[in-house]
Amino acid sequence: MENRESKPKQYIALKLKDNKNPMRTIPILDEGEFTLADSHAIALYLITKYGKPEHSYLYPDDIRTRARIHQIMFIGVLFPRLRAVMAPTYSGKLGELSNRMIVNIVDAYTMLEEYLASSSFLTGNSMTVADLSVLTTVSSLNGLHPIDGRKFPKLTKWLNTMNDMDVCRRINAPGSELHVMGLKALMTNYKSNQKSKL
Ligand SMILES: N[C@@H](CCC(=O)N[C@@H](CS)C(=O)NCC(=O)O)C(=O)O
Protein backbone atom coordinates (compact mmCIF):
# COMPACT_ATOMS: atom_id res chain seq x y z
CA MET A 1 0.00 0.00 0.00
CA GLU A 2 2.63 2.49 0.97
CA ASN A 3 5.06 1.65 -1.79
CA ARG A 4 3.83 3.06 -5.06
CA GLU A 5 6.28 0.91 -7.01
CA SER A 6 4.66 -2.29 -5.75
CA LYS A 7 1.31 -1.76 -7.49
CA PRO A 8 -0.24 -4.54 -9.55
CA LYS A 9 0.85 -4.40 -13.19
CA GLN A 10 -2.48 -3.33 -14.68
CA TYR A 11 -2.59 -0.17 -12.53
CA ILE A 12 0.98 0.67 -13.42
CA ALA A 13 0.12 0.10 -17.07
CA LEU A 14 -2.76 2.56 -16.80
CA LYS A 15 -0.53 5.03 -15.06
CA LEU A 16 2.15 4.77 -17.71
CA LYS A 17 -0.30 5.00 -20.59
CA ASP A 18 -0.85 8.74 -20.33
CA ASN A 19 0.60 9.54 -16.95
CA LYS A 20 -2.82 10.55 -15.65
CA ASN A 21 -2.76 8.72 -12.33
CA PRO A 22 0.43 9.45 -10.44
CA MET A 23 -1.48 8.44 -7.27
CA ARG A 24 -1.76 4.88 -8.64
CA THR A 25 -5.00 4.42 -6.78
CA ILE A 26 -8.16 2.58 -7.69
CA PRO A 27 -10.74 3.12 -9.01
CA ILE A 28 -9.51 4.17 -12.44
CA LEU A 29 -11.83 4.75 -15.37
CA ASP A 30 -10.35 3.60 -18.65
CA GLU A 31 -12.01 4.67 -21.89
CA GLY A 32 -9.05 3.96 -24.10
CA GLU A 33 -7.65 7.37 -24.96
CA PHE A 34 -9.13 8.79 -21.77
CA THR A 35 -8.38 7.68 -18.22
CA LEU A 36 -9.61 9.23 -15.03
CA ALA A 37 -8.69 8.62 -11.39
CA ASP A 38 -10.51 9.48 -8.17
CA SER A 39 -13.93 8.02 -7.42
CA HIS A 40 -15.54 11.45 -7.01
CA ALA A 41 -14.30 12.77 -10.33
CA ILE A 42 -15.32 9.48 -11.97
CA ALA A 43 -18.83 9.51 -10.46
CA LEU A 44 -19.45 13.09 -11.60
CA TYR A 45 -18.08 12.34 -15.07
CA LEU A 46 -20.25 9.22 -15.47
CA ILE A 47 -23.40 10.94 -14.24
CA THR A 48 -22.82 13.91 -16.55
CA LYS A 49 -22.09 11.64 -19.50
CA TYR A 50 -24.68 8.88 -19.03
CA GLY A 51 -27.27 10.31 -16.60
CA LYS A 52 -30.82 10.13 -17.97
CA PRO A 53 -33.44 12.79 -17.17
CA GLU A 54 -35.05 10.46 -14.62
CA HIS A 55 -31.75 10.38 -12.71
CA SER A 56 -31.30 14.14 -12.59
CA TYR A 57 -32.20 14.15 -8.87
CA LEU A 58 -28.81 12.56 -8.24
CA TYR A 59 -26.97 15.60 -9.65
CA PRO A 60 -29.49 18.41 -10.13
CA ASP A 61 -28.70 21.33 -12.46
CA ASP A 62 -29.13 23.94 -9.74
CA ILE A 63 -25.68 25.40 -9.16
CA ARG A 64 -26.04 25.78 -5.40
CA THR A 65 -27.22 22.20 -5.03
CA ARG A 66 -24.25 21.13 -7.13
CA ALA A 67 -21.92 23.23 -4.99
CA ARG A 68 -23.25 21.48 -1.87
CA ILE A 69 -22.81 18.11 -3.54
CA HIS A 70 -19.21 19.00 -4.36
CA GLN A 71 -18.68 20.20 -0.80
CA ILE A 72 -19.69 16.80 0.54
CA MET A 73 -17.90 14.76 -2.13
CA PHE A 74 -14.66 16.72 -1.74
CA ILE A 75 -14.90 16.57 2.02
CA GLY A 76 -11.33 15.29 2.12
CA VAL A 77 -11.31 14.08 5.70
CA LEU A 78 -13.61 11.08 5.44
CA PHE A 79 -11.91 8.47 3.28
CA PRO A 80 -8.41 9.12 4.76
CA ARG A 81 -9.80 7.91 8.10
CA LEU A 82 -10.73 4.60 6.52
CA ARG A 83 -7.51 4.53 4.56
CA ALA A 84 -5.57 4.98 7.83
CA VAL A 85 -6.98 1.58 8.85
CA MET A 86 -6.80 -0.06 5.42
CA ALA A 87 -3.16 0.70 4.62
CA PRO A 88 -1.52 -0.93 7.67
CA THR A 89 -4.08 -3.77 7.63
CA TYR A 90 -3.37 -4.65 4.00
CA SER A 91 0.34 -4.59 4.65
CA GLY A 92 -0.15 -6.96 7.60
CA LYS A 93 0.81 -4.54 10.35
CA LEU A 94 -2.45 -3.95 12.23
CA GLY A 95 -4.25 -6.22 14.69
CA GLU A 96 -6.91 -3.79 15.88
CA LEU A 97 -8.01 -0.19 15.56
CA SER A 98 -5.87 2.17 17.64
CA ASN A 99 -7.48 4.74 19.93
CA ARG A 100 -6.40 7.46 17.51
CA MET A 101 -8.11 5.69 14.61
CA ILE A 102 -11.31 5.34 16.65
CA VAL A 103 -11.23 9.02 17.71
CA ASN A 104 -10.87 10.04 14.06
CA ILE A 105 -13.69 7.76 12.92
CA VAL A 106 -16.04 9.02 15.65
CA ASP A 107 -15.08 12.57 14.71
CA ALA A 108 -16.14 11.80 11.13
CA TYR A 109 -19.49 10.49 12.43
CA THR A 110 -19.90 13.72 14.43
CA MET A 111 -19.25 15.81 11.32
CA LEU A 112 -21.78 13.83 9.26
CA GLU A 113 -24.37 14.05 12.05
CA GLU A 114 -24.03 17.83 11.84
CA TYR A 115 -24.49 17.82 8.06
CA LEU A 116 -27.68 15.83 8.65
CA ALA A 117 -28.95 18.21 11.39
CA SER A 118 -31.68 19.77 9.30
CA SER A 119 -32.14 17.45 6.36
CA SER A 120 -32.60 13.73 5.82
CA PHE A 121 -29.81 13.49 3.23
CA LEU A 122 -26.40 15.12 3.17
CA THR A 123 -27.24 17.95 0.80
CA GLY A 124 -30.99 18.31 1.38
CA ASN A 125 -34.12 16.23 1.52
CA SER A 126 -33.38 14.22 -1.58
CA MET A 127 -30.69 11.60 -2.08
CA THR A 128 -27.89 12.67 -4.40
CA VAL A 129 -24.63 11.28 -5.70
CA ALA A 130 -22.99 12.79 -2.59
CA ASP A 131 -24.93 10.39 -0.34
CA LEU A 132 -23.92 7.45 -2.53
CA SER A 133 -20.29 8.50 -2.42
CA VAL A 134 -20.25 8.93 1.37
CA LEU A 135 -22.13 5.66 1.85
CA THR A 136 -19.28 3.64 0.35
CA THR A 137 -16.86 4.89 3.02
CA VAL A 138 -19.31 5.03 5.94
CA SER A 139 -20.50 1.47 5.44
CA SER A 140 -16.93 0.20 5.81
CA LEU A 141 -16.25 2.48 8.78
CA ASN A 142 -19.47 1.27 10.41
CA GLY A 143 -18.37 -2.33 9.96
CA LEU A 144 -15.07 -1.56 11.67
CA HIS A 145 -16.37 0.73 14.40
CA PRO A 146 -20.20 0.67 14.57
CA ILE A 147 -22.05 3.99 14.70
CA ASP A 148 -23.58 4.54 18.15
CA GLY A 149 -27.28 5.09 17.44
CA ARG A 150 -27.80 7.06 20.67
CA LYS A 151 -24.98 9.48 19.95
CA PHE A 152 -25.64 9.69 16.21
CA PRO A 153 -29.39 9.19 15.63
CA LYS A 154 -29.51 11.13 12.36
CA LEU A 155 -26.53 9.37 10.87
CA THR A 156 -27.97 6.02 11.94
CA LYS A 157 -31.30 6.85 10.32
CA TRP A 158 -29.54 8.04 7.16
CA LEU A 159 -27.49 4.84 6.98
CA ASN A 160 -30.58 2.66 7.47
CA THR A 161 -32.44 4.60 4.77
CA MET A 162 -29.53 4.26 2.37
CA ASN A 163 -29.06 0.56 3.14
CA ASP A 164 -32.77 -0.08 2.52
CA MET A 165 -32.52 1.22 -1.03
CA ASP A 166 -32.48 -1.51 -3.62
CA VAL A 167 -29.42 -0.07 -5.38
CA CYS A 168 -27.45 0.02 -2.12
CA ARG A 169 -28.56 -3.46 -1.12
CA ARG A 170 -27.56 -4.90 -4.48
CA ILE A 171 -24.38 -2.96 -5.18
CA ASN A 172 -22.88 -1.42 -2.06
CA ALA A 173 -23.72 -3.89 0.71
CA PRO A 174 -22.11 -7.06 -0.72
CA GLY A 175 -18.82 -5.26 -1.50
CA SER A 176 -18.79 -3.44 1.79
CA GLU A 177 -19.45 -6.63 3.79
CA LEU A 178 -16.68 -8.42 1.95
CA HIS A 179 -14.32 -5.49 2.50
CA VAL A 180 -14.93 -5.37 6.25
CA MET A 181 -14.72 -9.15 6.52
CA GLY A 182 -11.37 -9.11 4.70
CA LEU A 183 -9.97 -6.34 6.90
CA LYS A 184 -11.06 -8.14 10.07
CA ALA A 185 -9.60 -11.43 8.84
CA LEU A 186 -6.25 -9.73 8.15
CA MET A 187 -6.29 -8.18 11.64
CA THR A 188 -7.05 -11.54 13.23
CA ASN A 189 -4.28 -13.11 11.20
CA TYR A 190 -1.81 -10.43 12.33
CA LYS A 191 -2.79 -10.94 15.98
CA SER A 192 -2.38 -14.70 15.83
CA ASN A 193 1.01 -14.31 14.13
CA GLN A 194 2.08 -11.97 16.91
CA LYS A 195 0.95 -14.49 19.53
CA SER A 196 2.79 -17.37 17.88
CA LYS A 197 6.02 -15.32 17.98
CA LEU A 198 5.80 -15.09 21.78
N1 LIG B 1 -9.57 9.91 -3.38
C2 LIG B 1 -9.36 8.67 -4.09
C3 LIG B 1 -8.79 7.64 -3.16
C4 LIG B 1 -8.52 6.34 -3.86
C5 LIG B 1 -7.80 5.35 -3.02
O6 LIG B 1 -7.03 5.70 -2.09
N7 LIG B 1 -8.03 4.08 -3.32
C8 LIG B 1 -7.39 3.03 -2.56
C9 LIG B 1 -8.22 1.76 -2.63
S10 LIG B 1 -9.83 2.01 -2.00
C11 LIG B 1 -6.04 2.75 -3.19
O12 LIG B 1 -5.92 2.61 -4.36
N13 LIG B 1 -5.04 2.72 -2.34
C14 LIG B 1 -3.74 2.42 -2.73
C15 LIG B 1 -2.78 3.53 -2.34
O16 LIG B 1 -3.21 4.60 -1.93
O17 LIG B 1 -1.59 3.28 -2.46
C18 LIG B 1 -10.69 8.16 -4.67
O19 LIG B 1 -11.75 8.51 -4.16
O20 LIG B 1 -10.63 7.44 -5.68
Closest CA to 130 of 51, 198, 57, 73: 73
Query: Does pLDDT of 15 surpass 60?
Result: no
Strand pairing category for 28-30 and 35-37 = antiparallel
**Inter-CA distances, 193 with 9, 88, 94, 177, Å:** 29, 15, 11, 24
Confidence of residue 33 (pLDDT cuts 50, 70, 90): confident
Question: Which pLDDT score is estimated for 5?
Answer: 58
What is the rounded average pLDDT of the residues 45-64?
Answer: 96
Distance CA 122, CA 114 (A): 9
Q: Which pTM was predicted?
A: 0.90
Beta bridge partners of 23: none
Question: Which pLDDT score is estimated for 143?
Answer: 98
Closest CA to 138 of 169, 114, 167, 172: 172
Mutate which of 6, 12, 15, 23 for ligand 1? The one with the most ligand atoms within 8 Å of its CB, which is 23
What is the rounded average pLDDT of the residues 137-160?
Answer: 98
- In terms of CATH architecture, what is 62-197? Up-down Bundle (1.20)
What is the rounded average pLDDT of the residues 47-52?
Answer: 96
191 lines ligand 1 (CB under 6 A): no
Question: Which pLDDT score is estimated for 197?
Answer: 80
Neighbours of 92 (CB within 10 A): 12
Domain with CATH 1.20.1050.10 in the chain: 62-197
Question: Which pLDDT score is estimated for 2?
Answer: 46
40 lines ligand 1 (CB under 6 A): yes
Mean pLDDT over all residues of the chain?
92
179 lines ligand 1 (CB under 6 A): no
